[in-house]
Amino acid sequence: MFISKILCNGKRTSKTLTLAVSELKKLAADCGINSKKIISAEFRHCPEAEGYSARVESKKLIFGYMQEIDALYAVYDFASDYLGYCFWGPGKSVLAPASALKIEDGLLFGPRKPLIKRRGFIQEFPFNKDSRILADWMAKNKLNYLLVWMKYYDKMSPQLKQYFNVRGIEIESGHHNFSYWIPGEKYARSNPDFFAMKDGERIKPSPGKSELLLSEQLCTTNPELRREIVKRMAEYRKNNPEVKTLSLIPNDGFGWCECEKCSKFYDKNKKGGFYSVSEHVYKAGRIYHDMVADVASQLSEKSSGTNLTLCAYVNYCAPSPGFKLKENMAVHFAPYWRCINHSVGEKSCYTNSSYLKDLKAWLAAKKGGEVNIYEYYMGVNLYLSLPMVHHEQIFEEAALYHKLGVDGLLTQFHLPHWTAYGLNFYMMAKACWNSDSGKQEIDAAFNKIFGAKASDAKKFYRMLRKLQESAGKCLIPYPRALLLRTKASDYRKIHDAAKKLAAGFPEGSLPAELPFWTEYLLKFKTLFDDYHNAKAGEKEIEAFIRWCKKLKHSVLVEGKLDYLFGAWLECLKSNKEWLHFNLDWEDDYIRRHDKSLN
């Protein structure tokens, strides 16, 4: 389709509008559709409109937009709905003109606005050569938020920051960061009382090491420490004015300072919940929230316009009594080790309904602040690309979040496992805009990606979902939970189905990648069973690792494989039963799950 003239008044001053125009030109030219209905286009700024729309009048395609980013979103929606594109994976668009809607005069779509205001990813790895492809994919799927660790943000080039900014993506510099604000190497000598007390002594922070538990925490009630953090945050904002949101999140682990003052903020006998994997430690909500409230209030005076986020997780996953999320605050609520066989709203699911109860408490604590969901639509890191087919459930969850008044939906993700979880990420992006069951979006995606084999593809994903469900009523995403309770013959059937489905598709397409994933699943399951039948040991595990590393397809995150399988090999060396990651407290949960999940 050739659009001869594109009118856009704001183009000269806005890089986002310039991009919208060039993307329209390019996508139309490449799509292979020849409609006589459109010969020119115009972008119209409509300040009073809610969202964006597209219409055709006298052979002119007219996009109405409120904010500049809406103009870009309108182009991508037009490309998806009317030109047959499916932006299902980063750098992996599919073009299926046969699935495109017919262009008619009048309204094409809109006005469209999102169900969920903040939509995006949590990036737990450095920016790299793929970051531009990622930003591009996020914009095409109308995601607008990226939470990254501060150490990674600080290494971003100005050009890359602009690349994200032009695509309407806000970046929060944060995540676990006590040690960023108060690094051991800077403060250990001058301010030993900034650091947590343990067994009657101040801990000695170990620079550069991310140790678990108490070893790296702070004495959070110390007023001088709090002032220092506020000062450092204000400086950071001054040096990085484009960053609007900062986090204050404890280093990973459970421990808190045991000094007299800090000890008053928790009761060692009041433990966390089984569902939030913190029954073995005391609740730490009060001590954490007291600090966050104070820092947020000081920050609003010292550095106005700065938002502060906290995280709700493990033994501080519910708001403590009286705590309010005020105007410059947001919580990232993380249902860690949620059940992946049920959606969050499932009342009969102990784990998810417990999390939902906490979420509702957070929403009730909103006083001008915001609540974001910090999801794991990839199991968790050490679930290692085992199946989590959550397409319909994501639509259910997004609709529930919208109804409850949730402000943001973010998920952890990786690019190297897109074959395993990419459709979850894609569906999440769609679900943040869609108030129906998602059936139409899911159908459209399957038709575009799998063409004439769409219904076989649906059957294939149903088989994977059934495999998950065959593990028991509930499934917590770590390998043992799935592999111990499922049958090897099902993995073989799934692998056969993937091979059949892939036939005829070009290399690199999703259908062609699936058999590499299912072969991995089958091999992992076989190794797991052989290990339990004393037929596999170090040699076989090492051979499997070597096989995985040669797998040049988007199946696995290599570093996570090394982590988990390293733990497995360690068990063999020390003659210990392998359950998961060799953390004793975690292994205890897994032993209990062995009984309770069945």
User: Quick one: 223 exposed, middle or buried, by C-beta within 10 A (0-12, 13-18, 19+)?
Assistant: exposed
Q: How far is the CB of 254 from Zn ion (least distance, A)?
A: 15
- Please choose, out of 114-122, 276-284, 332-340, 489-497, the segment that lies near Zn ion by the rule CB under 5 A: 332-340
Residue closer to Zn ion, measured from CB, 167 or 342: 342
- Please choose, out of 67-75, 313-321, 471-479, 552-560, the segment that lies near Zn ion by the rule CB under 5 A: 471-479
Q: What whole-number distance in Å separates Cα of residue 524 and Cα of residue 526?
A: 5
Q: How far is the CB of 353 from Zn ion (least distance, A)?
A: 9
Residue closer to Zn ion, measured from CB, 94 or 339: 339
Q: What whole-number distance in Å separates Cα of residue 124 and Cα of residue 132?
A: 16
Q: DSSP assignment, residue 102?
A: P
- Please choose, out of 149-157, 254-262, 272-280, 400-408, the segment that lies near Zn ion by the rule CB under 5 A: 254-262
Residue closer to Zn ion, measured from CB, 339 or 556: 339
Q: How far is the CB of 324 from Zn ion (least distance, A)?
A: 24
What single letter denotes the amino acid at residue 235? E
Q: How far is the CB of 293 from Zn ion (least distance, A)?
A: 17
* Residue 342 binds Zn ion, judged by CB under 5 A: yes
Q: Do you find a cis peptide bond into 90, omega within 30 degrees of 0?
A: no
Q: What whole-number distance in Å separates Cα of residue 132 and Cα of residue 138?
A: 10
Q: How far is the CB of 257 from Zn ion (least distance, A)?
A: 3
Residue selected from 8, 94, 156, 257 as contacting Zn ion according to rule CB under 5 A: 257
283-304 exposure pattern, b = at least 16 Cβ within 10 A, e = fewer: bbbbbbbbbbbbbbebbbeebe
Look at residues 406, 403, 287 and name the one whose alpha carbon lies nearest to residue 335: 406
- The alpha-carbon radius of gyration of the chain (Å, integer) is 25
Distances 359 to 250, 432, 567 between C-alpha atoms, Å: 20, 18, 33
Q: How far is the CB of 193 from Zn ion (least distance, A)?
A: 8
Encoding tokens for residue 337? 């080790």
Contacts with 189 (C-beta within 8 Å, 6 or more apart), sequence order: none
- Please choose, out of 134-142, 296-304, 345-353, 569-577, the segment that lies near Zn ion by the rule CB under 5 A: 345-353
Q: DSSP assignment, residue 253?
A: S
* Residue 344 binds Zn ion, judged by CB under 5 A: no
* Residue 484 binds Zn ion, judged by CB under 5 A: no
* Residue 359 binds Zn ion, judged by CB under 5 A: no
Residue closer to Zn ion, measured from CB, 240 or 263: 263
Residue selected from 66, 122, 248, 262 as contacting Zn ion according to rule CB under 5 A: 262
Q: How far is the CB of 583 from Zn ion (least distance, A)?
A: 23
Q: What whole-number distance in Å separates Cα of residue 247 and Cα of residue 308?
A: 5
* Residue 482 binds Zn ion, judged by CB under 5 A: no
**Angle (nearest 5°) at CA 494 between 471 and 84:** 115
Residue closer to Zn ion, measured from CB, 6 or 339: 339
Beta strand residue intervals within 204-306, DSSP E: 245-247
Q: State phi, psi for 47 to the nearest 5 degrees.
A: -60, -25
Q: Do you find a cis peptide bond into 506, omega within 30 degrees of 0?
A: no
* Residue 394 binds Zn ion, judged by CB under 5 A: no
- Please choose, out of 40-48, 339-347, 494-502, 568-576, the segment that lies near Zn ion by the rule CB under 5 A: 339-347
Residue closer to Zn ion, measured from CB, 338 or 402: 338
Residue closer to Zn ion, measured from CB, 24 or 597: 597
- Please choose, out of 209-217, 443-451, 466-474, 579-587, the segment that lies near Zn ion by the rule CB under 5 A: 466-474
Residue closer to Zn ion, measured from CB, 134 or 474: 474
* Residue 134 binds Zn ion, judged by CB under 5 A: no
Strand partners, 109: 54
Q: Which residue matches tokens 């005069």?
A: 105
Helix then strand then coil, in percent of the chain rounded to 5, is 45, 15, 35
Look at residues 527, 591, 514 and name the one whose alpha carbon lies nearest to residue 561: 527
Q: What whole-number distance in Å separates Cα of residue 565 and Cα of residue 542?
A: 9
Residue closer to Zn ion, measured from CB, 6 or 218: 218
* Residue 448 binds Zn ion, judged by CB under 5 A: no
Q: What whole-number distance in Å separates Cα of residue 113 and Cα of residue 156?
A: 30
**What part of residues 176-235 is at the interface with Zn ion (CB under 5 A)?**
219
Going by their DSSP bridges, the two strands 85-89 and 370-375 should be labelled as unpaired
Distances 415 to 189, 385, 419, 565, 592 between C-alpha atoms, Å: 41, 12, 9, 21, 33
Q: Are 113 and 51 in contact (CB under 8 A)?
A: yes
Residue selected from 17, 203, 349, 482 as contacting Zn ion according to rule CB under 5 A: 349
- Please choose, out of 76-84, 269-277, 341-349, 454-462, the segment that lies near Zn ion by the rule CB under 5 A: 341-349
Residue closer to Zn ion, measured from CB, 193 or 538: 193
* Residue 122 binds Zn ion, judged by CB under 5 A: no
Q: DSSP assignment, residue 49?
A: S
- Please choose, out of 20-28, 201-209, 260-268, 373-381, the segment that lies near Zn ion by the rule CB under 5 A: 260-268
* Residue 541 binds Zn ion, judged by CB under 5 A: no
Q: How far is the CB of 351 from Zn ion (least distance, A)?
A: 6
* Residue 388 binds Zn ion, judged by CB under 5 A: no
Contacts with 37 (C-beta within 8 Å, 6 or more apart), sequence order: 56, 59, 103, 104, 105
* Residue 296 binds Zn ion, judged by CB under 5 A: no
SS3 522: helix
Residues binding Zn ion: number (CB under 5 A): 8
Residue closer to Zn ion, measured from CB, 314 or 339: 339
Residue closer to Zn ion, measured from CB, 580 or 593: 593
Other C-beta atoms lying within 10 Å of the C-beta of residue 194: 24
Residue closer to Zn ion, measured from CB, 289 or 342: 342
Residue closer to Zn ion, measured from CB, 352 or 518: 352
Residue selected from 182, 246, 259, 457 as contacting Zn ion according to rule CB under 5 A: 259
Q: How far is the CB of 219 from Zn ion (least distance, A)?
A: 3
* Residue 474 binds Zn ion, judged by CB under 5 A: yes
Question: Interface with Zn ion by CB under 5 A: which residues?
Answer: 219, 257, 259, 262, 339, 342, 349, 474
